[in-house]
Structure 1
Amino acid sequence: MQSRRHHVPAEDLAALAAGHGGEGAVRRLVAIQYSRHVLLVRGVADAAAEAGHPGAARVRAAYDLLAGIQHRAPGAVDAVLRHPAVGAWALRALTGEADPLLLSGLAAAAAVRGGVPCAVEVPVRRGRVTLPSLGQAAVPGGDGTAEVRVTGTGAVVAGTVVVGTGARVAVPADPHTDAPGWQGLRRLSAGTGDGAIGLLIDDLDPWRFPGAGVRGRLGAAEAAAWSAALEDAWGLLRRHHWTTAAEVRTAIRVLTPLTPPARDHISATSPTAFGCTALSDPGDGLTLAGTLAHEVQHAKLAALLNAVPLIRPGDDRRFYAPWRDDPRPLAGLLQGAYAYLGVSGFWRRQRHHETGGRATLAHAEFARWRAAAFQVTRTLLASGGLTPAGEAFVAQMRRTLLGWQQEAVPPDAAGLAHRSAQRHRMRWHRDHARRP
């Protein structure tokens, strides 16, 4: 499997810095991430051999099988390698924090997707065999090994079985559905034709999202609620935020449920699981649309940073961020500013499509976050911690935000935004008064 060299055109960099970038620029960022996943997976096989891992031969055999499947069913391998959990696992495997033998699960998943006949020995972890991007089979007996056998031709995978000690699990013809002993990653879709979006809910893969807070399998009623929220959110994005919609459809592949907090709604994006948006619950269509507009900004910047350094290394200072309760490093400050540039742009449009109290809140969201992001761009530019490319990038962000500062906001909404911002800053300084 071969990766390729990538270059971010100057016009893409300028368009991304201005706030969006559009589908073409994001597609090129996605290509960078795909090549990164290819290199990471190949690195896992190489590192296992160099370290003398006891399963190195099996890891290499799995990699060779994956490469062979790519010749027969390239789309199947692409779908597996693009799955966000694959990047998170591979990065951890390279640092010794994850099992390199799980590479055989990638090969098995690609074989299932492509209908390529083969037999693959795969690890069983906690009684589960994970096929990334597809789902899990229950194989009793704790840890050990099982065999995935794929029969049939083309895309016919009804003959696929997972065999372990005392277990035989048939993977259904549509692996995204459940069957005895099998749980599939459920599909979500919204829209029709060229305007459709398709996502997966990954509530199974052990590497679906790094860090704490991921929750387990959604119930059927919860999955249905996520589907309904996506339908509403996608319609809203397509009607009023078409550039954001195109970027979301290009960059985001997976939604991962997080454990709900005591109050409010949380969402997150990780650079190691590119293409995944993690969230506590979808809320209503407006909430989910705003979440996607926010998180796609993080995804874009994370992908860009893999190709273009914007922050000078070695800076350990911490700064005030108007959207966080903790002091943030320079890289985190840039991520937040770029995300809230997108959030401001979302509410800048959406406020004109709301009425009554919802309109006041929408105006207030625009007013608060345009001011917050603008303030942080000044901090970033004054920090001395940006590369020349980073300075140009943030300067373009600031030009966009400067234009938005002049746009009229109703006085009651402006007052609401100002009071919220002041409360946050006073609380932050109270809690961190002894920090530089």
Structure 2
Amino acid sequence: MTSLDTPPHRLARTDLDALLRGEGGADAVAPLLAGERSWRLLLVRALADAMAPLPDTLPGTPLPPPADGWELLRRAWRAAPVEVERLLLYPAVGTWAAHTLRRVRGTVASDTPLWVDAGHLHAVAASAAVLAGLDFRCRVAVRDGWAVLPGIGGARAGEPVVEVVAEAGVVRVGSVRVGAEGWHALRELRADGCVVAFDDLDPYRGLRGRLTPRPVRSAGRWSGLFAEAWRILADDPETARAVASGLRSVVPRPRSEPYRPHSASSGDAFGAVVASEPDDAEQFACTLVHESQHHRLSAFMHLFTLYEDGGAERFHAPWRDDPRPLGGLLQGVYAFTGVAAFWRRRPGDLARFEYVLWREQTLSALAGVRDAARLTPLGRDLVAALTERLTAWRADPVPARIERCAALAAADHRATWRALHVRPPADSVARAARAHATTAGVPLPAPDGDTVVPAPVPRGLDTRAVLVRRMLAGEDPGTVAGAVEGARAEDVALVTGDPAVARAAFTARILRGPDPDAWSGLGLALDAQGHPAAQVLLERPEFVLAVHRELGGGTDPVELAAACVIPPATGRSPG
């Protein structure tokens, strides 16, 4: 194509400090956008170089040689570099380029023939040529019954390959004229100050692997929610401008259970937000903030190193059910600092709950990663800056009822996560079991040396937190359990203030067999009753569970928990 013509990337100290705190408006984000431009153009160039040695005709391909696609892309670049660069910076193009580069280099395996991924180059080149106003002919693949031009739109087609023809400003994809009947143009979401693509067509829009083009029928609802969400974000103009500067596309996914939205982003697809259809505009606004924080940190990490690669250690991430690597945890604490900041500005009991919960959960995760050996000095600065910012918010006045609800949800997730994924040393468990069997009530100190062993998760670790959310939103506690996937009667009893009923049910479950979720539930019930055994069940449930299993499962769980103690000088444990 042409020279990148990119000056050295620099970041002012004030912008660096703001970004380390999870803050910074559009001015602070601007250098990151410049870095992403360089990153993407280098990625495309690396893909061109990697594909050059490939044979002219890939096995099984019905498409022209890749060299034809690169030549058309070069022609378009020479004719309209601004428009073509904008296309190359489109998120789905980044996903395609990164995935295909990994495939060509052999670092990613796939059951899909290589020509499918490599051949998408012709569709990218065709889009570039259309945007540049060129007359041209090329062939593009039809996958899942669709021929798609990235960033423009698509058409249904029955054959495996269609010809794209542009003559005198008229473009046809197969038998369909672009802009006429049968053409599905890429739609947009519009709000005052922000216009983004609403991408339900591009096969690489989903961040990982290919997705079937699937135009959604609820685009009108998405549009209305986006406009309303933007009005919410505009209450904080700096945040709104920062989000707008980096947001490029929203990829719709089916609606999930209320209060359990799904969203995702990727460093390969800067500016894309993959999101389940929101419950309401407030949730949508929070999702946009959440994913924009991920975009910001991904772009930052393309310029700076926060941690050294390698290492098998895993950490507790209070927003995930599974143990997370160091890089994933840094992404999480950065995103949820933004989430806490969003809810801090919102009114109402539910907003207060979200604010306190994510403030405390993020602080907990930061404490768990603070001493990670693989953090670079800049990574430690990031952890310290986020910790300082969130800690200062603890001075905010919050109703005691909301504090209690948030504390329950936080303790529940951490305890259940530990009961599922943390394993105490087997020899310490065996000694404790022998000691308890010999002399009931003898203190059983919880040992150091735990290890994290990822285990299957039978239900979402947020189940009781979702119950709390629904009741804070005014739903009837008597009917809410049936509306929350995975919820049981004892969970409702726990969150509605009937710990005696909850305690009896959780105890019965434990006596029926190993049940990590029941141990954390028992700890929460005992805590509500002021029972001293609650501490070890909420902080080290994996030890009590393991000793109980070693004893054969018939031991009274409350009696055993009362015997287990956490030594005051215990070392740092996983998570």
Provide TM-score, normalisation by structure 2: 0.67
The DSSP-based 3-state class of the residue aligned with 1:39 is helix
The total of aligned residue pairs comes to 406
> Residue 83 of structure 2 aligns with which residue?
76
The DSSP-based 3-state class of the residue aligned with 2:370 is helix
The DSSP-based 3-state class of the residue aligned with 1:303 is helix
After superposition, the C-alpha distances for 1:119-142 in whole angstroms (9 at most, x for unaligned) are: 22323334322211111122212x
Q: Unaligned regions of 5+ residues in structure 2, if any?
A: 104-109, 424-450, 453-575
Assess, with a 3 A threshold, how the Cα gap between structure 1 residues 423 and 11 changes in structure 2: closer, same or farther: same
Assess, with a 3 A threshold, how the Cα gap between structure 1 residues 125 and 214 changes in structure 2: closer, same or farther: closer
> Residue 175 of structure 1 aligns with which residue?
none
Contact 2:202 2:211 in 1 (8 A): no
After superposition, the C-alpha distances for 1:151-205 in whole angstroms (9 at most, x for unaligned) are: 23xxxx4x11123xxxx11001xxxxxx4332221111011xxxx2101111111
1:5 positional shift: 5.1
> Residue 137 of structure 1 aligns with which residue?
155
State yes or no: 1:253 paired with 2:248: yes
Contact 2:314 2:323 in 1 (8 A): yes
> Residue 121 of structure 1 aligns with which residue?
139
Assess, with a 3 A threshold, how the Cα gap between structure 1 residues 214 and 402 changes in structure 2: closer, same or farther: farther
Contact 1:18 1:397 in 2 (8 A): yes
State yes or no: 1:388 paired with 2:377: yes
1:43 positional shift: 2.1
Assess, with a 3 A threshold, how the Cα gap between structure 1 residues 214 and 411 changes in structure 2: closer, same or farther: farther
Supply the RMSD in Å over aligned alpha carbons: 2.1
Kindly report which structure 2 residues correspond to 1:93-112, keeping only aligned pairs within 5 A, or say none. 93-96=100-103, 99-112=117-130
Higher relative contact order (CA 8 A, sep 6+): 1
1:419 positional shift: 1.1
Quick one: distance in 2 between partners of 1:68 and 1:427?
58
Quick one: distance in 2 between partners of 1:215 and 1:278?
15
After superposition, the C-alpha distances for 1:256-312 in whole angstroms (9 at most, x for unaligned) are: 122333552111112222211011103311111111111110111111111111111
The DSSP-based 3-state class of the residue aligned with 2:205 is coil
The DSSP-based 3-state class of the residue aligned with 2:93 is helix
Kindly report which structure 2 residues correspond to 1:347-366, keeping only aligned pairs within 5 A, or say none. 347-350=343-346, 354=347, 359-366=348-355
Quick one: distance in 1 between partners of 2:74 and 2:212?
33
Assess, with a 3 A threshold, how the Cα gap between structure 1 residues 279 and 385 changes in structure 2: closer, same or farther: same
State yes or no: 1:87 paired with 2:94: yes
Quick one: distance in 2 between partners of 1:346 and 1:262?
22
After superposition, the C-alpha distances for 1:296-339 in whole angstroms (9 at most, x for unaligned) are: 10111111111111111112210111111111111111111001
After superposition, the C-alpha distances for 1:357-384 in whole angstroms (9 at most, x for unaligned) are: xx11111211111112122222222112
- The residue type equivalent to 1:370 in the other structure is R
- The residue type equivalent to 1:226 in the other structure is W
Contact 2:253 2:276 in 1 (8 A): yes
Kindly report which structure 2 residues correspond to 1:25-44, keeping only aligned pairs within 5 A, or say none. 25-44=28-47
> Residue 230 of structure 1 aligns with which residue?
226
- The residue type equivalent to 1:162 in the other structure is V
- The residue type equivalent to 1:187 in the other structure is E
The DSSP-based 3-state class of the residue aligned with 2:417 is helix
Counterpart pick for 1:421 among 363, 385, 410? 410
Contact 1:44 1:100 in 2 (8 A): no
- The residue type equivalent to 1:380 in the other structure is V
> Residue 176 of structure 1 aligns with which residue?
none
> Residue 407 of structure 1 aligns with which residue?
396
1:61 positional shift: 3.0
Contact 1:45 1:63 in 2 (8 A): yes
Contact 2:316 2:368 in 1 (8 A): no
Question: Bigger CA drift: 59-68 or 363-372?
Answer: 59-68
> Residue 301 of structure 1 aligns with which residue?
297
> Residue 186 of structure 1 aligns with which residue?
187
- The residue type equivalent to 2:266 in the other structure is S
Quick one: distance in 1 between partners of 2:211 and 2:397?
41
Assess, with a 3 A threshold, how the Cα gap between structure 1 residues 201 and 344 changes in structure 2: closer, same or farther: same
1:57 positional shift: 7.8
> Residue 339 of structure 1 aligns with which residue?
335
> Residue 287 of structure 2 aligns with which residue?
291
Counterpart pick for 2:307 among 311, 329, 340? 311
Quick one: distance in 2 between partners of 1:100 and 1:343?
38
Bigger Rg over Cα:
2
The DSSP-based 3-state class of the residue aligned with 1:310 is coil
Assess, with a 3 A threshold, how the Cα gap between structure 1 residues 57 and 44 changes in structure 2: closer, same or farther: farther
Assess, with a 3 A threshold, how the Cα gap between structure 1 residues 57 and 13 changes in structure 2: closer, same or farther: farther
The DSSP-based 3-state class of the residue aligned with 1:21 is coil
State yes or no: 1:243 paired with 2:211: no
Quick one: distance in 1 between partners of 2:37 and 2:285?
25
Quick one: distance in 1 between partners of 2:70 and 2:293?
33
The DSSP-based 3-state class of the residue aligned with 2:86 is helix
Quick one: distance in 2 between partners of 1:85 and 1:114?
19
State yes or no: 1:203 paired with 2:200: yes
Assess, with a 3 A threshold, how the Cα gap between structure 1 residues 366 and 384 changes in structure 2: closer, same or farther: same
> Residue 151 of structure 1 aligns with which residue?
167
After superposition, the C-alpha distances for 1:75-129 in whole angstroms (9 at most, x for unaligned) are: 3202211111101111111122552221121121122223222222323334322
1:218 positional shift: 4.0
Determine what percentage of the aligned residue pairs are the same residue. Answer: 36
The DSSP-based 3-state class of the residue aligned with 1:200 is strand
After superposition, the C-alpha distances for 1:381-411 in whole angstroms (9 at most, x for unaligned) are: 2112211111122221122112112222121
Quick one: distance in 2 between partners of 1:261 and 1:219?
15
Contact 2:366 2:383 in 1 (8 A): yes
1:254 positional shift: 0.6
